Amino acid sequence: MTIPLQSIEIKALHRMIGGGVGFTLLYRISRDGCNASTFHTKCDCQGPTITVLYNTNDTVYGGYTSQSWLGTGTEYSSYDEKAFLFQVRYNGSSVQKKYPIKADNYANAIRCGSTLGPVFGRKESAIPFFVGNVSFSNGIFLFQKGHLDNSYTLNNEDITNGSVNITDLEVYKVDVGDLRTNLNQWRIASRIEHRDSLFSKIWDIITLGLFTYKNKQLDALRKEVQNYTPVKETGVEYANLLLIGHVGSGKSSFVNTVNSIFKGTISHKAIAGSAEKSLTNRYRKCQVRNGRFGKTLNFRLCDTKGIEKDDGIDPHEFCFILDGNMPNGYLFNSSTQLNPDSPGFLAKPSTQDRMHALVIIVDSTNVEIFEHTILENIKIFQDKANQRGIPQIVLLTKIDKVSESLKKNVSKTFLVPAIGDLVDKAADLFGVPRSSVIPIKNYENEMELREDINILALLALQQILNFADDYLVNFLEGK
Q: Provide DSSP, 325-355.
A: -SPTTPBPBTTB---TTSTT--SS--TTTS-
- In order along its 479 residues, the chain shows pLDDT tens digits of 678 888 788 888 888 987 667 788 899 999 899 999 999 999 988 889 999 999 999 999 999 999 989 886 667 788 899 999 999 999 999 999 999 999 888 888 999 888 999 999 876 678 899 999 999 888 899 998 877 557 888 877 788 988 899 999 999 998 764 433 344 333 333 333 333 233 333 333 343 333 333 334 577 778 889 999 998 888 899 999 999 999 889 998 999 999 999 999 998 766 655 545 556 778 999 999 998 788 999 999 999 988 887 766 889 999 999 999 999 999 988 778 899 999 999 999 999 999 999 999 999 999 988 888 899 999 999 999 999 999 999 999 999 998 888 888 888 787 788 888 898 899 999 998 888 899 999 998 888 999 889 988 998 999 899 899 889 888 777 65
CATH number assigned to the domain with residue range 218-477, chosen from the 4 options 3.40.50.2020, 3.30.420.340, 1.10.260.40, 3.40.50.300? 3.40.50.300
Q: Which of 169, 59, 73 is nearest to 120 (CA)?
A: 169
Total count of residues recorded for the chain: 479
Q: Where in the chain is the domain with CATH 3.40.50.300?
A: 218-477
Contact between 34 and 131 (Cβ < 8 Å): no
Residues 286 and 269: beta-carbon distance below 8 Å: yes
Contact 291, 297 (CB under 8 A): no
Residue 101 phi/psi, 5-degree rounding, is -70, 140
Alpha helices per DSSP H over 99-197:
179-182, 186-189
CA-wise closest residue to 45 among 205, 177, 171, 188: 171
Residues 185, 294: Cα–Cα separation, whole Å: 28
In three-state form (DSSP H/G/I as H, E/B as E, the rest C), the secondary structure along 15-26 is HHHCCCEEEEEE
Residue 400 near residue 410, CB atoms below 8 Å: yes
Q: Say how far apart CA 253 and CA 269 lie, in whole Å.
A: 9
